A = this chain, B = another copy of it.
Amino acid sequence: MTIGIFGTGMVAQALAASLLARGNAVLIGTRDPGATLSRTEPGAFGNPPFSAWLKEHPGTILGSYAEVARGAEILINATSGAGSLPALESAGASNLDGKILIDISNPLDFSQGFPPSLTVCNTDSLGEQIQRAFPALHVVKTLNTLTAPLMVNPALLPSDHVIFLNGNDAEAKARVTTLLGEWFGWKSSNVIDMGDITTARGTEMLLPLWVRLFGTFGTPMFNFNIVRG
């Protein structure tokens, strides 16, 4: 299938590489494709510039957000928190309406350094902001609570661990659960449907704990599991 990914950073690259390897067509959306391709400095975490990544993944098509939204059957938002609403506005509601958006973004605010705070939380969330701005888009928030290598390969950890789903549309959540299994090997029993998009508050607010655990462990290769009685 043809999958559109918004964003060109490490998370977008990890998802794209995994989806390409499974035989999907991948479109990657960015604000200004020419500027993205001409950038030569490394990414925020020392990763190579996007043009270098693209050379190693020749099946990928880079386009504007609008081009990608038009061409893809399903969309993934892997932009930064601050970049999410502008990216979707640039894509245009008419190109988004009726589609599923898997929203992986987190509203992290690094303006005061590390650890980041959140730009929105508690009584609202980025997931809700996106859903309110694009009412006919089927927003399914998921995968935002673990590091990219584990998103695309949960079997890297030695035992079961979970991800959460937040979204208003039951059919869209069921479809995403199936895709997460087909694409990355997520067992449906490890995908917890929390309820409507307001439950995105809880999963986005997990990030401050995640960030400090990353600091404590010195590695992002961990995830949460839920133990039940």
CB distance B223 to A224 under 8 Å? no
Q: Does A70 contact B (CB under 8 A)?
A: no
The distance from the CB of A54 to the nearest CB of chain B, in whole angstroms, is: 29
The distance from the CB of A167 to the nearest CB of chain B, in whole angstroms, is: 13
Residues on A lying within 8 angstroms of B by beta carbon are 117-118, 121-123, 156-161, 164, 192-195, 199, 201-203, 205-206, 208-213, 215-217, 219, 221-229
Instruction: Tell which of B156, B192, B210, B211 touches A213, judged by Cβ atoms closer than 8 Å.
Output: B192
CB distance B208 to A194 under 8 Å? no
- Copies of this chain per assembly: 2
Q: Which residues of B contact A206 (CB under 8 A)?
A: 205-206, 209
Instruction: Tell which of B157, B164, B213, B227 touches A159, judged by Cβ atoms closer than 8 Å.
Output: B227
CB distance A195 to B209 under 8 Å? no
Bound-state CA distance A205–B122 (Å) is: 8
Instruction: Tell which of B160, B221, B228 touches A221, judged by Cβ atoms closer than 8 Å.
Output: B228
Bound-state CA distance A215–B226 (Å) is: 14
A121-B122, A195-B215, A224-B227 known, 19 other contacts, Cβ within 8 Å: A117-B122, A118-B122, A121-B121, A157-B229, A192-B213, A194-B209, A194-B212, A194-B216, A195-B216, A202-B209, A202-B212, A203-B209, A205-B206, A206-B206, A221-B229, A222-B226, A222-B229, A225-B225, A225-B226
Residue among A118, A122, A157, A195 with the most chain B CB within 10 A? Answer: A122
- Of the A-B pairs whose beta carbons lie under 8 Å apart in the complex, a sample of 29, sorted by A's number, is A117-B122, A121-B121, A121-B122, A122-B122, A157-B227, A157-B228, A158-B229, A159-B227, A160-B227, A161-B227, A193-B216, A194-B209, A194-B212, A194-B213, A195-B216, A199-B212, A202-B209, A202-B210, A205-B209, A206-B206, A213-B226, A217-B228, A219-B229, A222-B226, A222-B227, A222-B228, A222-B229, A224-B226, A225-B227
Bound-state CA distance A224–B222 (Å) is: 13
Q: Which residues of B contact A194 (CB under 8 A)?
A: 209, 212-213, 216
Instruction: Tell which of B192, B201, B215, B226 touches A223, judged by Cβ atoms closer than 8 Å.
Output: B226
The distance from the CB of A117 to the nearest CB of chain B, in whole angstroms, is: 5
